[in-house]
Structure 1
Amino acid sequence: MKKSLPFLVVLFMLQGIIAFAQTTQEIVDKIVKEANENSQLEPLAHELMDVIGPRLVGTPQMKKAHDWAVQKYAQWGIAAENEKWGQWRGWERGITHVDLVSPRVVSLSGMQLAWSPSTPKKGLTAGMIIIPDVADSLAFQKWLPNVKGKFVMVSMMEPTGRPDYNWKEYATEESFEKMKQDRNSLNETWRERYKKTGYTTRNINEALEAAGAIGILQSRWSEGFGANKIFGANTKKIPVVDLSLEDYGLLYRMVEHGEQPIIKVMAESKELGTVPTFNTIATIPGTEFPNEYVILSAHFDSWDGATGATDNGTGTITMMEAARILKKIYPNPKRTIIVGHWGSEEQGLNGSRAFVEDHPEIVEGMQALFNQDNGTGRVVRISGQGFLNSYDYMGRWLEAAPESITKQIETTFPGSPAGGGSDYASFVAAGAPAFSLSSLNWSYFDYTWHTNLDTYDKIVFDDVRNNAILTAILAYMASEDPDRTSREKAVLHTNPRTGEQRTWPETRSPNRDGGKNE
């Protein structure tokens, strides 16, 4: 009996689907095998975090990291280049040493903030004074001459260095509640103290510097044992040093009790003028659709209180490892695969915003972007970022990954578009399908996000390996997908606070000439 044409067409299509499924499973199995049996994550992390170190925009270490990445990609047979997008204040951190020299001698735990001016070669030795509780801004102006020749203490003394979870485990319920009430009261009193000066924490350093202070001491506790946030100095001539909660409290109490403590601060740093800033862009060319793109995304820069291991060293090595695996297992992708290592994310997504602005043709041709930037944990959340049909393609791509990886992932479709937070938002704002591979917490915000403790030892390599496998599979599936992804936007929900319809975030231009007032 002669078979009908429609039957033959259906049979042919079915055979094609089966063949694709078999090929997909083979590729996925090879990706998993390569990731588990030949992982390069540990050596990549050591070279980047331990040897190169923190990657503050405008520092020699940032440039070393860019050059290292280009060389590493070359070893894997992947073309990469450093693409200039702007310039920044050049600065290099040196040694920080702080000692209490009177009424007793002890070395203190502290470090200068990013872009802090250097002390003289012999250091600075002086007493301290605390931001006062004055009646109003006029009274504060009258008080300001008192800072001349002194270190000014600009942070509240924390009443406890124990995180809340420690109190909750050991304290009585009454004691725990009393501590929280006392702390809340202290915080409110300190906020009022600042308010009456007429300044904020953002601009008071400039006033103190102008009034003759020789240095500024702060302690920005991150609510975890030994963890402090380390950001920028915001001064032009005098050093700004962050002290540990414990040592800041020691000095604060001595000043309060009239014991007139004296400290010596050595804070070495170098001003390097204006230096160029870069994104590192690696490319595996597409064979069938070379002008369509799958982008693996992670910011390369960090703050420099530690080595930027989980923000965003882990995202960086995830994307590098995924690219290495793809080049080995899937060397001729249908669509071009780009890896974007963005500069100056920490100052406002500058590198990725510059890329969006400079490469509209790539943004137009984007199939998908996958970004990772919130710690060392395994991926547990993916949002559709407000793209109405994102479930159709992301759902299909995720199905190809092993259940051991996908069973822990919660998805939200279509979700809402991100206005900021990390570099995928730069592409979402331009209407391109970009997604955050959001990870498990691992006490990220208290212990490693922008702190002095964000170091190699905090990396959980089993989780990062899972993320590299997931990223490689998603990139493979997005590249192989016969269809272009839809960019149709969902109708956004009403803002419950304002009652107004939410709008799609707008694209923003990067700061291409920064760091002068950091």
Structure 2
Amino acid sequence: MKQLLITTVLALGFCFSSLNAQDKNPVIESIIKEANENSQLEPLAHEMLDIIGPRLVGTPQMQQAHDWAVAKYKSWGVTARNEKWGEWRGWERGITHIDMISPRVQSLRGMQLAWNPSTSDKGVTADVITLPENIKDSLSFQKWLPNVKGKFVLVSMKQPTGRPDYNWEEFATEDSFEKMKDERNAQSKEWRENIGRTGYNTRSIITVLEDAGAAGIVASYWSRGFGVNKIFSARTKKIPTVDLELEDYGMLYRLAESGNTPKLHVVAKSKELGRIPTFNTIAEIKGSEKPDEYIILSAHFDSWDGGTGATDNGTGTLVMMEAMRLLKKYYPNPKRTILVGHWGSEEQGLNGSRAFVEDHPEIVKNVQALFNQDNGTGRVVNISGAGFLHAYDYLSSWLYAVPRDITKHIETNFPGNPSGGGSDNASFVAAGAPAFNLSALNWSYWNYTWHTNRDTYDKIIFDDVRNNAILTAILAYMASEDDETTSREKIVLPMNPRTGKQRTWPSPRSPQRDGGRN
């Protein structure tokens, strides 16, 4: 198997090195020229990210994005529609003001979490309290619990440093760096164990604090980078939950610890909008020879709302929209039908794509190939065969048509393994459809933009996204033109060393179609 993989990679490299020997294809040449000289990526990104903004499922901005995409496709002559697959809790973010008013006045940097219960216009004013250290057991915690009544409760660990590890690595001595990490690990372990001794975990304790009369919850989900926090959802039903950036959160914690009790004034406005229909946006260029066989371009449309969802998954969305524009302009009569799926509620469990798979078995069974992009702004650097035994036979020939300056950055892994989750390609792989993830260079994605308050337009590397659009358009063209239908034969999966049993192919899962209920 090892020798086979090496041979596969070498063979693919040989194909790429022979690129200049192939005849030029006018469709491919036109796609490349248009993408490089008349790219629509920047204006599309501005309209989607700056004007519409984040696309949290159940928000008016998500609906606005769906309608915008349909209109944009129609302006290019591409048929498009919004396809309902479920309902979600409707909610709209309003303003957040977090101010410390004692022992001195300072406006703090933070925001309410998604689906946060709204405060009144006057907001909430209360002292700050920390969770007790060295909790003995659940009984002692219950005795302490009345102390939270009328207080803002700090529920995150106070970080020992606000400098990312790479900054320590560059400037600290080796001994100092190791000492910091050891102390941080010990502190994190003790924090988790202390929470555990309450009889609850970091999630369930929030409800307990709310029921005990807390005025609000203050958290800080640091993302291990300068100025970045993860922004997810509130777990409270009536009181506000806000996330503060590390620097301000640490200051509050130290003040509370030292007996200089800080007082906060928090205004966190939002609107509850009832049950809201949820959609996938589907666009289509009908096939001329094999209209019932499909190429699918795939990217989730929704985002979290700490930033504007630029790299998760604005960039994937831009790639698929631009690829579809290029294909419509220079390949308007494909052999097979080319679909693009902009999936809703991926962030809550691949719901939109799972719904499409469940609702359209007639399409899924005739998928020639699906190309998905979902992990940041960087150029594509890896493509796996996803566990399809003969994926090399067709993917390598399609990649042969892509310019060398793009493919030279791409490593391939054949036959690869099936994805069990992570992004929407997994929904199709589970149903046996050849679906491939175009995995990108991460540009510090996990720390700096993935689900953070810094996932914004300015983080996009448009040269890389442009190359990804060219790659996707050419792969779609080649897959459509291929005389052969792609093989769906799966590899025999290896044994699981932990269980001693053979691994099994992922199974299709049903979506959550009625989501976001309190």
Q: After the TM superposition, which residues 202-351 of structure 1 pair with which residues of structure 2 at under 5 Å, given as runs?
A: 202-351=203-352
Mapped to 2, the partners of 1:198 and 1:414 lie a distance apart of: 46
Look up the match of 1:113: 113
Query: How many pairs were matched up?
Result: 497
Percent identical:
73
RMSD: 1.0
Deviation at 1:496, TM superposition (A): 2.4
Residue type at the aligned position of 1:214: A
Q: Secondary structure at the match of 1:437?
A: strand
Give the letter aligned to residue 485 of structure 1. T
Where 1:391 maps in the other structure, the secondary structure is: helix
- 1:44 corresponds to which residue? 44
SS in 2 for 1:197: coil
- Per-residue deviation, residues 15-63 of structure 1 (Å, max 9, x unmatched): xxxxxx9776222111110100010000000000000000000000000
The whole-number CA distance in structure 2 between the counterparts of 1:300 and 1:457 is: 19
Amino acid at match of 2:479: A
- Partner Cα separation in structure 1 for residue 381 and residue 129 of structure 2: 47
Give the secondary-structure state (helix, strand or coil) at the position aligned to 1:435: strand
How far apart in 1 are the matches of 2:273 and 2:346? Answer: 21
TM-score, normalising length: structure 2? 0.95
Helix, strand or coil for the counterpart of 2:170? helix
Could you tell me which residue of structure 2 aligns to residue 131 of structure 1? 131
The answer to whether the 8 A contact 1:110-1:243 is kept is yes
* 1:336 partner letter: T
Q: How far apart are the structure 1 equivalents of 2:216 and 2:437?
A: 41
- In structure 2, the residue matched to 1:87 is 87
- Which residue type is aligned with residue 342 of structure 2? H
Query: Could you tell me how far apart the structure 2 residues matched to 1:481 and 1:131 are?
Result: 63
Q: Give the partner amino acid of 1:84.
A: K
Q: Distance in 2 between matches of 1:455 and 1:499?
A: 45
Partner of 1:28: 28
Give 1:130 shift.
Answer: 1.0
Instruction: Report the residue type matching 1:236 in the other structure.
Output: K
After TM superposition, the runs of 4+ consecutive aligned structure 1 residues lying more than 4 A away are 21-24
Counterpart CA distance in 2 for 1:287 and 1:147 is: 67
Matched AA of 2:194: R
Measure the CA separation in 2 of the matches of 1:441 and 1:87.
Answer: 32
Partners of 2:297 and 2:88 lie apart in 1 by 25
Deviation at 1:469, TM superposition (A): 0.2
What whole-Å deviation, never above 9, does each CA across 1:427-484 have from its counterpart, x for those lacking one?
0000000000000010000000000000000000000000000000000000000010
Once residues 36 and 174 of structure 2 are traced to their aligned partners in structure 1, the CA distance between those partners, rounded to angstroms, is 46
The aligned residue for residue 186 of structure 1 is: 187
Matched residue type, 2:57? V
Q: Does structure 2 conserve the Cα–Cα contact (< 8 Å) formed by 1:24 and 1:400?
A: no
1:363 is aligned to 364
Matched residue, 2:16: none
Moved more, 48-57 or 128-137: 128-137
Aligned counterparts of 2:371 and 2:54: Cα–Cα separation in 1: 24
SS for the counterpart of 1:127 is: strand
Q: Structure 2: how far apart are the matches of 1:46 and 1:475?
A: 26
User: How many angstroms does 1:96 deviate by?
Assistant: 0.5
The letter for the 2-side match of 1:218 is: A
CA distance in 1, matches of 2:80, 2:43: 20
Q: Distance in 2 between matches of 1:510 and 1:199?
A: 29
CA separation in 1, counterparts of 2:120 and 2:366?
A: 54
Q: Verify the 8 A CA contact 1:99 1:265 in the aligned structure 2.
A: yes
Structure 1 position 303, deviation (Å): 0.1
Measured in 2, the distance between the counterparts of 1:269 and 1:460 equals 33
**What is residue 11 of structure 2 aligned with on the other side?**
none
Aligned residue for 1:69, secondary structure, equals: helix
Matched with 1:402 is 403
Deviations 1:84-136 (A, max 9, x none): 00000000000001011011001000100000001121011100111113111
Does the 8 Å contact 1:205/1:235 carry over to 2? yes
> What SS class does the counterpart of residue 282 from structure 1 fall into?
strand
Distance (Å, rounded) in 2 between the aligned partners of 1:431 and 1:138 = 52
The answer as to 2:154 corresponding to 1:153 is: yes
Give the match for residue 434 of structure 1. Answer: 435
Please report the TM-score for the alignment, with normalisation by the length of structure 1. 0.95
Are the aligned partners of 1:356 and 1:363 in contact in 2 as well (CA < 8 Å)?
yes
Gap change, CA 1:79 and 1:24, over 3 Å in 2: farther
Moved more, 28-37 or 197-206: 197-206
Query: Please, which moves more after superposition, 489-498 or 405-414?
Result: 489-498
Whole-Å Cα distance in 2 between the matches of residues 180 and 23 of structure 1? 57
Task: Give the match for residue 457 of structure 1.
Answer: 458
Query: How far does the alpha carbon of each residue in 1:329-385 deviate from its partner, in whole angstroms, 9 at most, with x for none?
Result: 100000000000000000000000000000000001100000000000000001111
